[in-house]
Structure 1
């Protein structure tokens, strides 16, 4: 078991390392003239050269990558090239919004998908058919489309919820609840049918096992067999699906947050990518302490 865990951790670290290299390289290729984006079109070649030296953009990409990697491992996330705001501060104000939305949606998906999946596996008939059709529809409709429909009907036409987020520093829990309800519902609708389908299949497979017939022959109640034994045995398959949905949701919330104007990680990532603000996108792309043309040390 320990060897298996170590192998999985090792493969995960290798994957993260490879992804970081690929992301850094893509940013390097597509970034263009970052110094000109910062200083504007009126900047002179001398000013651009000074800014590139200050940011470390005149160094080879290998040097810049390992400088970023060293800083990231040390917890130094650097400073935005465009806003001069520490990246750690920018993340600290936005991560709670994204994580609250994602984990609220995942908890609801786990509960609702389990109930629907078990009902479909036990009742079969029309309930089973509805779940299977719903899984196809849910997988085919992107979450942002559901979000737009919810905003149009429940926010704009009916006025039950704010069309855009009212979350800001110091607001109460009611603002968080009203602002996150529609995004969470959009994520729930998009993810619950697929999860229910997988849990249904896992429960049906367990119900066909010999140990279920043995438990029933001993006079154990159907509810106890289902929730105490069958559901526990089917849980690994359900957890695997939910974990994959969580990973996909962390990437998909970027568009959801844009639709509902949530101050989360999505708008920050989109803006930083559009500007090629590498410290924000990568966490830290500033080079180690060095000297620019003014003779003063910079980071």
Structure 2
């Protein structure tokens, strides 16, 4: 298992560097640049050239990237040329918002998806068809559209939940919880559908195997068969889907954070990209990549816990 973790970490280093370089390159290939974003519409060629020199934009792209990379390796993501804020501090402030939203959504989707998938596999019949219909609906409904519908019903019409904003957990656990209900509900539908579908398929396959027939013949209870044997054997593909759901939420939060006016990394990414704020968008891209690396590592560790054969590979 230690070898597996070390190998994953070694693979992650060139991945992070590649993502940061690609993000850096795409930002500079996009129309406009940071100097024009700072100066606005009215500027002189002399002032524009002077600001480009101050920001280091007159240097070659490899030199600019190398300066950024060496500073980033020392924990310095620079200062935003747009608003003058420290990028590292901004990332630290917004990361908690996005992680709260993603982690809670993943937990809710996993719990509901595994429960629905297990029930449909065990009971079958109409319940199985209901899960199929809910899965199709979950895949078809866009998260941002569902978010707008939820805001209209529960925040505007019924006025029982807040429409916008985010309250830190340390400040008010109750406010943190109620503020996450609507965005989590909007984001969890797709993940719940995917996990329920995979759980149902995995359990149906596992429950039809010979060892389950033998356990039943030996008098094992259905509860014991389900929780001690079937779910564990069907869990690896379910864990894979849960990991994919978590990673996909990094994209889904961009629009949902905008709908609910949550100060997360998604909003910072959109704002930085439109303003050519290279230090900020670089930091966001690296942060998202590191989150993906950690999630993949946790999924690998879950594989090793569920299947001992993975530990010796």
- Both proteins in one fold, TM over 0.5: yes
- Aligned to 1:163, what secondary structure does the other structure show? coil
- Hey, what does 1:265 align to over in structure 2? 265
Contact 1:206–1:230 (8 Å) recurs in 2: yes
Contact 2:77–2:88 (8 Å) recurs in 1: yes
- Hey, what does 2:195 align to over in structure 1? 195
Please give the root-mean-square deviation of Cα atoms over the aligned residues, in Å: 2.0
Distance 1:136 1:112 in 2: 16
- Hey, what does 1:234 align to over in structure 2? 234
- Hey, what does 1:124 align to over in structure 2? 124
Contact 2:272–2:281 (8 Å) recurs in 1: yes
- Hey, what does 2:179 align to over in structure 1? 179
Contact 2:27–2:278 (8 Å) recurs in 1: yes
Which deviates more, 223-232 or 168-177? 168-177
Contact 2:254–2:266 (8 Å) recurs in 1: yes
- Hey, what does 1:244 align to over in structure 2? 244
Give the length in aligned residue pairs.
284
Distance 1:230 1:24 in 2: 47
Summarize the Cα distance change of 1:218–1:168 in structure 2 as closer, same or farther, 3 Å threshold: closer
CA deviation profile, 1:44-72 (whole Å, cap 9, x unmatched): 22222221111110100111112222222
Which structure: larger Rg?
Answer: 1
Distance 2:178 2:237 in 1: 33
Q: Does 1:82 align with 2:98?
A: no
- Hey, what does 1:222 align to over in structure 2? 222
Contact 1:167–1:263 (8 Å) recurs in 2: no
- Aligned to 1:283, what secondary structure does the other structure show? helix
Post-superposition offset of 1:91: 1.2
CA deviation profile, 1:155-211 (whole Å, cap 9, x unmatched): 111111122115379842232222211001111222101110001111111111111
Summarize the Cα distance change of 1:104–1:168 in structure 2 as closer, same or farther, 3 Å threshold: closer
Contact 1:31–1:276 (8 Å) recurs in 2: no
CA deviation profile, 1:213-245 (whole Å, cap 9, x unmatched): 121122111101101111011111110000001
CA deviation profile, 1:26-57 (whole Å, cap 9, x unmatched): 10011513212212333322222221111110
Distance 1:73 1:202 in 2: 43
- Hey, what does 1:146 align to over in structure 2? 146
CA deviation profile, 1:94-153 (whole Å, cap 9, x unmatched): 111111111011111111111111111111101110111111111111111111110111
Distance 1:196 1:210 in 2: 24
User: TM-score when scaled to structure 2?
Assistant: 0.85
Summarize the Cα distance change of 1:170–1:51 in structure 2 as closer, same or farther, 3 Å threshold: farther
Distance 2:166 2:122 in 1: 43
Contact 1:167–1:262 (8 Å) recurs in 2: no
- Aligned to 1:262, what secondary structure does the other structure show? coil
Contact 2:91–2:283 (8 Å) recurs in 1: no
Gaps of 5+ in 2: 285-313
Contact 1:34–1:276 (8 Å) recurs in 2: yes
Gaps of 5+ in 1: 285-299
- Aligned to 1:72, what secondary structure does the other structure show? helix
Distance 1:220 1:168 in 2: 48
Distance 1:229 1:66 in 2: 52
Higher helix share: 2
Contact 2:97–2:166 (8 Å) recurs in 1: no
Contact 2:138–2:189 (8 Å) recurs in 1: yes
